[in-house]
């Protein structure tokens, strides 16, 4: 008898859906309990179940398959400067705001609030990364906006609201608001002091809290449907920070014109625009000429979110790769039982866990610093940059390797892997690209010795436990003993610092098999240059089992 149908579907894994993205991630759930967010575990599990649901996964697909559309004018020729999104994008935004991922730690500043929010963002961004941009910018804008207490009093009730209100209308008619930022110009992104957008006083009173008219062009302004933006512009007294609302107090549109949307590698659900400011009305935030100092509060929090985004991308890649390998057979055995595949998956899992544990520790430092702990504030200052550099730097190679674990299926959009791959370089570019971050670390080491001390103290908490960790610390100190040509060695220094911190955290908090594999491969150099080159002593299968999400 011949076959009765043209083909039978065999040896294909079930979809990775119907699971709790939070609880299935052992390292993440441990971080929540250990670092001060045990109280949030039930809410995080609820968010985890939503993130793992078929419905939410479909929102993520649709939001990317149907990217936003720019509508500059209405049918009569009036400027409207609006962006239209697919309903799935709004579903994603609604869920994010409903769970307080935009501003919960500012609304309810309890111990562990930043960590709980970070873990929530980590869970939710695994569904879809693009809509995380306005969520993250709104979170980050609040502390910067507090430099202008009157503006903060006016805007915070809306920014802190958990109602997602996407309508393009004056905020006085809205039940919730989001905030973006516009710093980058054509001639300079990292070097914002090269900004040419200028701010002219709009009234006789000038300075903080006073109105200005902004004229110029911003080369990248993501999520332009936000209700307000923190903008850098040159005031008579130097580069300053402004809050620019989309609508004017008289109910008309502000003169912020969307020129076009960027055609980007990834992050497609997120509208990233070029904008023209034509005497756009804005209010000065913080002191005149101190724009960078004012907006740096926002930048630091978005850097934390870059770490979360990159770590989450790696976690989702590991979840997909281990799930696939557990259900796909080749040459008579499941992939997850093939020794060389185990080595690859275990190596990816270690990288992901190292990123997760560093992310959790960093977010906990934001909580401690907010509670007035100066040591933690000093640690956070340096660790944010160090971890941002390294976790973001690792993500693209990690995404590519995880994609390959799925073979040809990994190259096909349905698998979600192409989206993870396209997202993977972005966190490294945002909020300080690799080199800029490394130079920032060197600057902090030189000018803020307390931050370097706090960093080394944290590493030392695992001192004497693993000789490879102790040796790596000695190597770092030797590297820094001679500061000649240090700028060119910036990446070496920051990479070494990041590995030390991750090693110290894993030695203290992860099972010995994970910490040992990390120290052997990342600190003692017992590995090759590609993933999948862990030494033979490593128990790869146990590491993979720890990382693999189980679907009920
Ligand atoms: C999808 C997307 C969305 C974005 N959204 C926004 C937004 O909403 N608002 C906003 O303001 N910006 C936004 N940006 C812009 C982003 O923040 C900038 O692209 C980034 O800061 C880098 O600036 P740049 O592109 O001008 O690169 P440059 O500053 O020209 O840097 C180019 C390269 O040179 C390196 N470099 C710079 N200085 C040095 C140095 N001294 N030594 C060695 N190397 C150096 C950098 O690390 C980088 O690798 C967005 C970008 C993207 C891709």
pLDDT for 5 beyond 90: no
For 261, phi then psi, to 5°, come to -100, 145
> Dihedral sign, CA of 451, 456, 459, 462?
negative
Instruction: Report how far apart, in Å, the C-alpha atoms of 230 and of each of 177, 446, 510 are.
Output: 14, 30, 40
Atom of ligand 1 nearest to the CA of 436: 47
Q: Which residue minimizes the CA distance to atom 23 of ligand 1?
A: 189
pLDDT tens readout for residues 157-196: 999 999 999 999 999 999 999 999 999 999 999 999 999 9
Residue 1 has pLDDT above 80, yes or no: no
Atom of ligand 1 nearest to the CA of 272: 3
Residue 242 confidence (pLDDT) above 70 = yes
Residue with tokens 């190259």, as numbered in its chain: 411
What are the CA-CA distances from residue 59 to residues 46, 53, 90, 129, 375 (Å)? 17, 10, 9, 12, 42
Q: Mutate which of 260, 433, 488 to test ligand 1's pocket (most atoms within 8 Å of Cβ)?
A: 433
Output the CA torsion 298→182→85→58 (10° steps).
-40
d(CA 460, CA 501): 9
Q: How confident is the model at residue 3 (pLDDT cuts 50, 70, 90)?
A: low
Q: What is the average per-residue pLDDT within 437-458?
A: 97
398 with 351: CB under 8 angstroms? yes
Question: Using H for helix, E for strand and C for coil, what is the string for 345-357?
Answer: HHHHHHHHHHHHH
- The CA 177 to ligand 1 mean position distance, Å, reads 27
Atom 27 in ligand 1: residue holding the nearest Cα? 189
Ligand 1 centroid to Cα of residue 188, in Å, is 8
pLDDT of residue 7: 86
* 38: nearest Cα among 289, 360, 299: 360
Q: How far apart are CA 370 and CA 422, in angstroms?
A: 34
Place of tokens 């935030």: 285
Q: Residue with structure tokens 């935004």? A: 93
pTM above 0.95, yes or no: yes
Distance, in Å, from the CA atom of 534 to the CA atom of 302, rounded to the nearest integer, reads 33
H/E stretch holding 71 reads: strand 69-73
Residue 108 Cα distances to 61, 144, 219, 551, angstroms: 32, 17, 35, 33
Q: Is the pLDDT of residue 2 over 90?
A: no
Q: What is the mean pLDDT of the chain?
A: 97
**pLDDT at position 376:** 98
Q: How far is the CA of 82 from the centre of ligand 1 (A)?
A: 25
**Ligand 1 interacting residues, C-beta cut-off 6 A:** 180-184, 188-191, 220-222, 264, 267, 272, 426, 429-430, 433-436, 439
Nearest CA to ligand 1 atom 7: 221
> Are 314 and 148 a contacting pair, CB within 8 Å?
no
Q: Are 429 and 464 in contact (CB under 8 A)?
A: no
What is the best residue among 186, 436, 438, 494 to mutate for testing ligand 1's pocket, by most ligand atoms within 8 Å of CB?
Answer: 436
Q: How far apart are CA 410 and CA 325, in angstroms?
A: 12
Atom of ligand 1 nearest to the CA of 182: 11
Predicted pLDDT of residue 6? 84
From the CA of 339, how far away is ligand 1's center (Å)?
41
Q: Using one digit for the tens of pLDDT, what is the confidence trace for 356-415?
A: 999 999 999 999 999 999 999 999 999 999 999 999 999 999 999 999 999 999 999 999
Q: Which atom of ligand 1 is nearest to the CA of 191?
A: 29
pLDDT tens readout for residues 417-427: 999 999 999 99
């Amino acid at each position: 008898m011949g076959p009765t149908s043209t083909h039978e579907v065999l040896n294909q894994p079930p979809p990775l859906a119907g699971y709790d993205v939070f609880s299935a991630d052992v390292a993440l759930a441990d971080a929540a309990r250990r670092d001060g967010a045990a109280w949030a575990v039930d809410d995080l599990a609820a968010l985890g179940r939503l993130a793992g649901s078929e419905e939410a996964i479909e929102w993520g697909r649709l939001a990317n398959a149907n990217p936003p559309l720019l509508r500059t004018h209405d049918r009569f020729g009036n400027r409207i400067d609006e962006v239209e999104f697919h309903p799935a994008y709004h579903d994603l935004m609604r869920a994010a705001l409903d769970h307080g991922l935009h501003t919960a730690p500012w609304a309810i500043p309890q111990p562990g609030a930043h960590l709980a929010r970070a873990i929530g963002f980590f869970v939710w961004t695994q569904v879809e990364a693009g809509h995380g941009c306005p969520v993250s910018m709104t979170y980050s804008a609040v502390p910067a906006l507090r430099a202008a207490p009157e503006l903060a009093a006016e805007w915070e009730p809306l920014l802190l609201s958990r109602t997602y209100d996407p309508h393009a209308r004056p905020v006085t008619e809205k039940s919730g608001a989001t905030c973006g930022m516009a710093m980058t110009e054509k001639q300079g992104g990292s070097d914002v002091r090269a900004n040419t957008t200028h701010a002219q006083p709009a009234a006789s009173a000038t300075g903080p809290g006073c109105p200005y008219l902004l004229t110029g062009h911003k080369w990248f302004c993501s999520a332009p449907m936000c209700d307000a933006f923190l903008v850098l512009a040159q005031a008579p007294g130097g580069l300053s920070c402004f809050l620019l609302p989309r609508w004017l107090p008289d109910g008309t549109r502000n003169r912020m014109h969307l020129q076009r949307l960027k055609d980007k590698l990834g992050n497609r659900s997120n509208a990233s625009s070029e904008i023209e400011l034509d005497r756009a009305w804005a209010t000065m935030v913080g002191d005149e000429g101190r724009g960078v100092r004012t907006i740096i509060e926002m930048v630091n929090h978005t850097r934390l979110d870059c770490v979360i985004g990159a770590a989450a991308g790696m976690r989702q890649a590991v979840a997909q790769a281990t799930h696939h390998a557990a259900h796909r057979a080749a040459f008579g055995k499941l992939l997850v039982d093939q020794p060389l595949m185990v080595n690859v998956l275990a190596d990816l899992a270690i990288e992901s866990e190292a990123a997760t544990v560093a992310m959790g520790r960093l977010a906990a430092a934001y909580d401690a610093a907010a509670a007035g702990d100066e040591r933690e504030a000093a640690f956070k200052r340096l660790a944010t940059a160090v971890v941002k550099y390294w976790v973001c730097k690792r993500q693209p190679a990690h995404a590519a390797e995880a994609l390959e674990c799925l073979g040809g299926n990994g190259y096909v959009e349905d698998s979600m892997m192409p989206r993870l791959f396209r997202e993977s370089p972005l966190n490294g570019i945002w909020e300080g690209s690799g080199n800029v971050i490394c130079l920032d670390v060197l600057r902090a080491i030189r000018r803020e010795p307390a931050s370097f001390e706090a960093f080394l103290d944290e590493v030392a908490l695992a001192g004497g436990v693993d000789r490879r960790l102790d040796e790596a610390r000695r190597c770092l100190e030797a590297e820094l003993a001679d500061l000649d040509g240090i700028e060119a060695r910036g990446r070496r220094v920051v990479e070494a610092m990041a590995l030390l911190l991750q090693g110290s955290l894993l030695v203290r908090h992860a099972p010995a098999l994970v910490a040992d594999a990390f120290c052997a491969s990342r600190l003692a150099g017992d590995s090759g240059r590609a993933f999948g080159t862990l030494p033979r002593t490593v128990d790869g299968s146990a590491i993979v089992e720890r990382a693999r999400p189980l679907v009920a």
